[in-house]
Amino acid sequence: MPDIHHPGRRSVLAAGAAVGASWLLSGCTGASAAPVLPTTALRGAPDRGGVLRVARPPASEAETLDPASSLSAYEYLGALYNRLVRVGPDGELAPDLAESWEPDARARTWTFRLRAGVTFHDGRPFTSADAAYTLRHILDKATGSPQAGVLAPLLDPAALRTPDAHTLVVPLKSPNAEFPSLLTHYNCYVVPDGSARSIGRTGIGTGPFKLESFAPAGPGRVTAHADHFAGRPVLDAIDFYSVADMSARSNALLAGQVHLLSQTNLDFATARVVAASDRATVARVKDAQWYVLPMLTTEKPFTDVRVRQAMKLAYDPEHVVKVALQGAGTAGWDNPVPPSDPAHLAGHPEHDPEKARYLLRRAGHEGLAVDLYTSSYDPLFTPMALAYQDSARRAGIRVRVRTAAADSYYTQIWMKKPLMATYWFTGRPVDQLFTQIFRGGSSYNETAWRDQDFDAVLDRARAETDDRRRAELYGEAQTLVIERGGAMTPMFADRLVGISRRVRGYAEHGFEFDYLGIGLKGA
């Protein structure tokens, strides 16, 4: 499933803001004063100390602090834990708990050199035994980790070796020159050896904050970990609140009750109102969310590749970006690899409604009518669906936009209806992206697409140690996704993050913001 948490019982801030949702979305007084949204967060150094208050979407009552779980409390993870390897601000791999890593000549065995002198929040030293245990925990079927589907074809948990306290040796079942990138996923935060039964409650990690309190689907607090290996964080603490919907979260921000809206991509109208207010503004994260219209390739008419190709050629992604995003994003052209990724393949088929008509006639689906499901779960789903409906009309495709309930959207609609809207966070390295979402048999393969040629190209790319040739193979994989796959990618959206004007040091990359450097002015 995408990077979301299913709504469950809702816990709202005790004192709700008086501003109504209709006011927020109407673009009334003040909104017109902000014709252009900010492109960056407010600059300047924060003051030391203070408590950051974060509003997050409602989550399941089964929410857990176990990072490997599919129900992990996402907002807490980067505060409580570290990975072996992370994604740096430049998009390249960077050291975290591993200081360095190197493969053998065939990229079949990887050796990780780990930091010395790192301690968990309970005072235990971090060692290679914890790193090995973390990988075994992810692979354990009882954990049910989404990342297991990516790592299990590569790793035999019994083969992991720890020759000393600061060395982890990972033999792979098959060569993979991109293996360290697979450890940057947020399911791969390192947990203490033997902690499977308790980690979901204790949150004991090596991160810049340690857990003070946590209630699934409810409030919680983390406090500064003074002994963090990279230094003490700027803030004293972070308070998390689950707030029912986007309007309520935005209202709390405008009222000064919270400082940051986590996992909330503001719609353009709301973002304008927030940016025009005295208390809040907008941080803009370029191409941070990848929006998809998945076609289930196991359901008619999308079992026919000609229909899938016609659906892609029928619409203009530039039109969707203009209408749905007001220009705050980039056209996807049905390639899920973001334009900022070094592996991105720039070439793509052009919008061609006449060719789409031709393909539909050949497939016996002239005058095709389809249902496209959306919901209010994300504010961009419906604008994207309506923009697609409008654009595809030129190819004779009749799209009926169906609105489903937000609280059951990812249990009743996603991967069940033949055509629907969804999104993912960008930031996945290319091998993680293709393996998790497009490889045949993956549990997150939302189009149920199986293509032996694609899987074979992916295997060849992994085994290729020549960087130039490996990039060419990942380019071939992108071409196959565009030409044969079931995922339409109309757009990459800039994430419009609502933040208080007191926030400084907001920087987001690799699924998280900078927990060490973020702080408040006037704390």
Residue 11 has what pLDDT? 30
Tell me what pLDDT residue 246 has.
81
In this predicted model, which residue has the larger pLDDT, 233 or 3?
233
- The predicted-structure confidence for 300-343, as pLDDT tens digits, reads as follows 999 999 999 999 999 999 999 999 988 889 999 999 999 988 88
- Whether residue 25 is predicted with pLDDT greater than 80 in this model: the reply is no
What confidence score (pLDDT) does residue 516 get? 94
User: Is 37 found in the same domain as 135?
Assistant: no
Residue 36: predicted pLDDT: 58
How far is residue 512's CA from residue 515's CA, in Å, rounded to a whole number?
Answer: 8
Band (61; pLDDT cuts 50, 70, 90): confident
Length of the chain: 523
How far is residue 464's CA from residue 222's CA, in Å, rounded to a whole number? 43
Q: Is residue 11 part of a domain?
A: no
Average pLDDT for residues 122-133, to the nearest whole number?
A: 98
Looking up residue 252, the CATH number of its domain turns out to be 3.40.190.10
Per-residue confidence (pLDDT) for residue 6, from 0 to 100: 36
DSSP 327-389: T-EEE-TT--S-TTSTT-----PPP-HHHHHHHHHHTT-TT-EEEEEEETTSTTHHHHHHHHH
Q: Are residues 219 and 247 in the same domain?
A: yes
Q: Which of 165, 200, 235 is the last residue of a domain?
A: 200
The answer on 88 and 231 residing in a single domain is: no
Q: What is the pLDDT of residue 202?
A: 98
**Confidence label for 422 from pLDDT (cuts 50, 70 and 90):** very high
Lowest mean pLDDT among 67-76, 131-140, 240-249, 446-455: 240-249
Q: How high is the pLDDT of residue 175?
A: 94
CATH of the domain at 380: 3.10.105.10
368 and 227 together in one domain: no
Asked whether residue 4 is assigned to any structural domain, the reply reads no
Average pLDDT score, the chain: 89
Residue 1 lies in a domain: no
- Among candidate residues 162, 179, 200, the one where a domain is terminated: 200
The rounded percent of the chain whose pLDDT value lies above 70 is: 92
On the question of pLDDT at 21 being above 60, the answer is: no
Q: Assess whether 53 and 129 both reside in one domain.
A: no
Retrieve residue 224's tokens: 């500064």
Note down the domain range covering 418: 287-494
Tell me, what CATH number does 160's domain have? Answer: 3.90.76.10
14 within a domain of the structure (yes/no): no
Residue 15 lies in a domain: no
Residue 73 within a domain? no
Instruction: Read off the pLDDT of residues 147-160 as tens digits, 9 standing for 90 and up.
Output: 998 899 999 999 99
Q: What's the pLDDT at 28?
A: 35
Q: pLDDT band for position 40 (50/70/90)? A: low
Q: Is 76 a member of any domain?
A: no
- Say which residue, 472 or 328, is predicted with more confidence: 472
- pLDDT of 193-224, one tens digit each? 999 999 999 999 999 999 999 999 899 999 99
Mean pLDDT over residues 59-83, rounded?
93
Is 26 a residue whose pLDDT tops 90?
Answer: no
Instruction: Please indicate, yes or no, if residue 74 is contained in any of the structural domains.
Output: no
If asked whether residues 155 and 249 sit together in one domain, one would say no
Q: 107 with 125: CB under 8 angstroms?
A: no
Q: Which two tokens stand for residue 233?
A: 């964080």
- Based on the fold, state whether residues 41 and 126 are members of the same structural domain: no
Residues 176 and 311 placed together within one structural domain of the fold: no
Q: Rounded to whole angstroms, how far apart are CA atoms 231 and 143?
A: 32
* Contact yes or no for 208/228 (Cβ under 8 A): yes
Q: Answer whether residue 501 shows pLDDT above 60.
A: yes
Q: What is the per-residue pLDDT for 29? A: 33
| Residue 194 sits in the same domain as residue 222 | no
Tell me: do 451 and 355 sit in the same domain.
yes
**Residue 244's pLDDT band (cuts 50, 70, 90):** confident
For residue 41, what pLDDT band results from cuts at 50, 70 and 90?
Answer: low
Angle at 204 between CA 112 and CA 70, to 5 degrees: 80
Q: In this structure, what are the phi and psi dihedrals at residue 187, rounded to the nearest 5 degrees?
A: -75, -10
How many domains does one find in the chain?
Answer: 3
Last residue of a domain, one of 200, 224, 249: 200
Higher pLDDT, 87 or 219: 219
* Least confident residue range of 198-202, 429-433, 458-462: 429-433
181 and 297, same domain (yes or no): no
Same domain, 328 and 457: yes
